[in-house]
Amino acid sequence: MRANVWYGTEQLRVEDVPDPKILNPRDAIVRITSTAICGSDLHIYDGYIPGMLPGDIIGHEFMGEVVEVGSAITNLRPGDRVVNPFPIACGACFFCQQSLHSLCENSNPNAWLAEKLWGHSPAGLFGYSHLLGGYAGGQAQFARIPFADVGPIKIPAHLTDEQVLFLSDIFPTGYMAAEQCGIREGDTVAVFGCGPVGLFAIKSARLLGAERVIAIDRFPARLRKASQWADAETLNYEQVEVLEALDVMTGGRGPDACIDAVGMEGHAHGAIGSYDRIKQSLMLETDRPPALRQALTACRNGGTVSIPGVYGGLLDKIPFGAVVNKALTIRSGQTHVQRYLKPLLELIEKGSIDPAFVVSHRLPLEEAPRAYRMFRDKQDSCIKVVLKPWEQVPTVKAEEATNRILH
C-alpha cells in the first residue's frame, strides 16, 4: 500500500510499504477513504516528538471501510463505514472503565519509555512515536485497528466523509477543551489559537452556552473563520496587546475561562519569542509556551484554564504563582475521544454543527509532504487539509503547475 512515512525533521515520503495484517483477535483492518493532518502531526514534522524512527507511518485522523476483522470482533463486519478515534483503548482497564480512554493502561507496549519521561504512561496513539506505542498511523491506504470492538464508530451513509472525519480527533478535542471550562450562563471564554482545534473549541464553547467567545490568533483567515462560524469576537495579537485587550473586554475581571489551543510550538514576537527559541535550540527547554503563559495570566480569579494544546516536556517561565494566588483550575489531556463519538455524531446528524466547515484543502495522499509544508506555514490560507489515499495526483501541464505555485 501507499503510506506517508517519516524519515526525520521535515522529511516525509509517500512510498510503498507492506499492507497491515490482523495480528490479534480484536483487530480490524480499515481501507482508508479520508485522512487529515493535525497540529499534533506538525510537532512530529518539526522534530519535537521523541521516540520517532525513520520509516514510521504517521497520521491519526482517519476513517474508512472495514475490510477484515479478527475472530473476536462481533460489532463490525467488512463493508461497515467507520471513523476511528486517535487514542488506542482496551475498554476494560481502570481508566477505560471511567471513560478516560487516552489513559488506557493496556495499549502502550512501550510504557516504560513514557514512564521515564512522565512518571506514568498514557495510552498508545496511532502514528505518534514509539514512546506512545509505535503503532502505524492512518495517513495510508489501510490501517490496522487494535481493540476494534472499542474504538471505531459506525457512520450512516447519508453523512459525507468531511462531516464525520473530525470525530477522530479535533472535534472531540475542541469539545472536551470547552467542556472542561465548566461553562455557565453568561460566561466569557478566551481561546488562544484559531487552528482547527481552536476553531472546534470556539464552536463547542458556543454550543455549551458561552455568552461570549474571544478568539486570538494572528492569521486573518483563521480569525475570520472564528467569527463566521461561531460569532466569536477576535483579537489579532500582532495588532493589539492581548492581555490588555482581554481585560478591557471583560471589565477588568478577565475571561471566566481560557483555552490554550496552541501547544508546544507557540509563536511570540519580541524578547520572549527569542528567549524560547534560543532555550529550545540549546535543549534547555523542550516547548515554547507563550500562549500558556498568557492564558494563565489573563484568566479571572477562580477561573479555569483548559489546555488541549499538546506539550511534551519541560516548560520555562510559567507563572505558576498565578495558578495558586488566583485559585485557578487547570484541566488538560489528550482527548478521551471514544467518550464523545456518539454524542457528537448526534450533534452532526441534528445539524447543530457541520465540521466540514474547517476544511480548506483537499489533496491526494501522494501530496502529503507538500500538504504538511502548506499547513505548517499557513500558505494559501490553509486551515485544514484532508488527504485522499486512493486519488491519483492529477498530471498538470508545466504552465499550469507554474500558475498553481504563483497562485
CA atoms within 13 A on the CB side of 343: 11
Q: Does 255 bind ligand NAD (CB under 6 A)?
A: no
Cell of 90: 482496551
Options 194, 202, 232, 359; binder of ligand NAD; rule CB under 6 A: 194
Q: Does 268 bind ligand NAD (CB under 6 A)?
A: yes
Neighbours of 306 (CB within 10 A): 28
Cell numbers 512522565: residue = 118
Report the alpha-carbon distance of residue 294 to residue 221 in Å, rounded.
22
Between 61 and 100, how does the x/- string for binding to Zn ion read (CB under 5 A)?
A: ----------------------------xx--x--x----
Shortest spacing between CB 125 and Zn ion, in angstroms: 8
CA dihedral 26, 87, 383, 35 (to 10 degrees): -10
Shortest spacing between CB 273 and ligand NAD, in angstroms: 9
Angle at 15 between CA 365 and CA 392, to 5 degrees: 40
Size of the site for Zn ion (CB under 5 A): 9
- With CB under 5 to 8 Å by kind, the binding choice for 219 among ligand NAD, Zn ion, none is ligand NAD
Nearest to 176 by CA among 337, 36, 31: 337
Q: Between residues 29 and 62, which has the closer beta carbon with respect to ligand NAD?
A: 62
Report the alpha-carbon distance of residue 59 to residue 316 in Å, rounded.
29
Shortest spacing between CB 72 and ligand NAD, in angstroms: 28
Q: What is the DSSP string of 130-172?
A: TTTT-B--SSBSEEEETTTTTS-EE--TTS-HHHHGGGGTHHH
Report the alpha-carbon distance of residue 382 to residue 217 in Å, rounded.
14
Q: Between residues 31 and 267, which has the closer beta carbon with respect to ligand NAD?
A: 267
Options 91, 93, 218, 331; binder of ligand NAD; rule CB under 6 A: 218
Shortest spacing between CB 33 and ligand NAD, in angstroms: 21
276: left (phi over 0), alpha (psi -120 to 50) or beta: alpha
DSSP class of residue 20? P
- What one-letter code names the amino acid at 63? M
- With CB under 5 to 8 Å by kind, the binding choice for 96 among Zn ion, ligand NAD, none is Zn ion
Q: Does 149 bind Zn ion (CB under 5 A)?
A: no
Options 20, 198, 255, 355; binder of ligand NAD; rule CB under 6 A: 198
Q: Does 190 bind ligand NAD (CB under 6 A)?
A: no
- What is the contact surface with Zn ion in residues (CB under 5 A)? 38, 40, 89-90, 93, 96, 104, 106, 169
- What is the contact surface with ligand NAD in residues (CB under 6 A)? 38-40, 42-43, 169-170, 173, 192-198, 216-219, 222, 237, 261-264, 266-268, 290-291, 308-310, 334-335
